[in-house]
Amino acid sequence: MASQKVPQATAERLPLYYRTLQRLVAIGKTRISSSEFGSIVQIDSTTIRKDFSYFGALGRKGYGYDTQRLMEFLKKILYQDELSKVILIGAGHLGTALLNHNFQKNNNTKIVRAYDVDPSKVGKEISGTEVHPMNELVTDDNSDITAAILTVPSAHAQEAAEMAIASGIHGFLNFSPTRLVLPADVYVRHVDMTVELQALIYFLNHSMEERKSE
């Protein structure tokens, strides 16, 4: 394990590296160079080598990387060798879609419980996951839960997050289009699909304008 702190940008690329290595190992690829790997993941090979350097000597000069060894290393780093239990807060359209999917391609992550205020949903199961009343969230013991997925309307996101923290949650994947104000020891990943789509539209139009001007 590296003794130096891993930058956030590097940490965010690790799941992509891991997923790509899984596919490479599955098709029988035993070793790969940083330049070849970079072409596959569309990341500069210099960046890949620097990312891996934070964890020590993972490859060999003139040989590249052993795909099986590197995949197993990243599996351990990303805690994919143990079950990560998460809860879902908000079983609306997006929440229901996530429950129906429930990380089917990743056996190491599972939504084990859902919460909602809608009486028509409470007490029912969605793809095997029971929906609990929201008022139980603050009193339930969720200390063994890795994180919560937040898919409630913006007006209720802050309150829902605070209730989840009271139950033992310290990490959120927030799909609500609002920024949460939470304690410093709580980690939040914001997934704002509107912002992502607007950025995509900007880059597409910018790219088209550049091609027209050539």
Annotated binding site: 90-95
Between CA 207 and CA 202 the distance in angstroms is: 8
Nearest CA to 124 out of 145, 98, 96, 143 is that of: 96
Residue among 197, 208, 177 nearest 94 (CA): 177
On whether the CB atoms of residues 102 and 110 are closer than 8 A, the answer is yes
Count CB atoms within 10 A of the CB of residue 76: 12
- Give the helix/strand (H/E) hosting 129: strand 129-133
List % helix, strand, coil for the chain (3-state, nearest 5): 45, 20, 40
Summarize the annotated binding site for NAD(+) as residue ranges.
Answer: 90-95
